[in-house]
Amino acid sequence: MSRWLAGALIAATGIASAQEQAAPTRFCELLFSNGATLTDVPLAETPAQMAKGLSGVDQVGRGMFFAWSDEQPRVVWMRGTRVPLSVGFIAADGTLFAIEDMTPNTDTPHLSMKPAKDALELPQGEFARQGINQGDRLLRRHCQPTQSEKGHD
């Protein structure tokens, strides 16, 4: 096998591996103080999952929940995301302190303006449909591995 072919196979394997690492392996149930419960929301918790987010998909389904290990000011954007989304920024105490609509395929930064521990991206209008408003609190999050990952724990 030529060095070029071997290198190409290694590179292709690396790309596939990176794409697999970017796919969420856990899904969350989120309970809000207004009584709304969102189920099966994909969890972005690794740098690769957060970097990919919902880019490159035409159906965002139940959105995506971003969970960081610390509370800091956050920034998100819509590069490569083809569907209009809204982002909600959530403080460490669970308070949803900001909801902002985002335009598809833009690099416009959406800043949390204050420290956030989590962010929730939903299709535009879904926060309102669920009755989830700024000031509501995320009371409970329960995240589990997908069925295929449960056997690998």
Residue with tokens 């590069």: 79
Q: Is pLDDT of 109 > 60?
A: yes
Q: What is the pTM of this model?
A: 0.82
Nearest residue to 68 via CA among 92, 93, 42: 92
Enter the tokens of residue 14: 């690396």
**31-84 tens-digit pLDDT:** 999 999 999 999 999 999 999 999 999 999 999 999 999 999 999 999 999 999
C-alpha distances in Å from residue 139, one per residue of 10, 88, 96, 98: 45, 15, 11, 16
Q: Is pLDDT of 1 > 50?
A: no
- Residue positions counted in the chain: 153
**121-135 tens-digit pLDDT:** 999 999 999 999 999
Enter the tokens of residue 79: 């590069």
Domain membership of residue 94 (yes or no) is yes
Q: Are 137 and 93 in contact, with CB atoms under 8 Å apart?
A: yes
Check which CATH number belongs to the domain holding 110 and give it: 2.60.120.1140
Cα dihedral 72/78/83/85 (nearest 10): 30
Domain membership of residue 16 (yes or no) is no
DSSP state of 131: T
Enter the tokens of residue 149: 């990952």
Following DSSP, what letter does each residue of 6-54 receive, concatenated?
Answer: HHHHHHHHHHHHHHHHHS--EEEEEEETTS-EEEEEEEE-SHHHHHHTT
Domain membership of residue 2 (yes or no) is no
Q: Which residue range is the domain that position 57 belongs to? A: 24-150
Query: What count of Cα atoms within 13 Å lies in the side-chain half-sphere of residue 151?
Result: 2
Domain membership of residue 3 (yes or no) is no
Tally the domains of the chain: 1
Domain membership of residue 1 (yes or no) is no
Domain membership of residue 19 (yes or no) is no
From first CA to last CA, the distance across the chain in angstroms is: 37
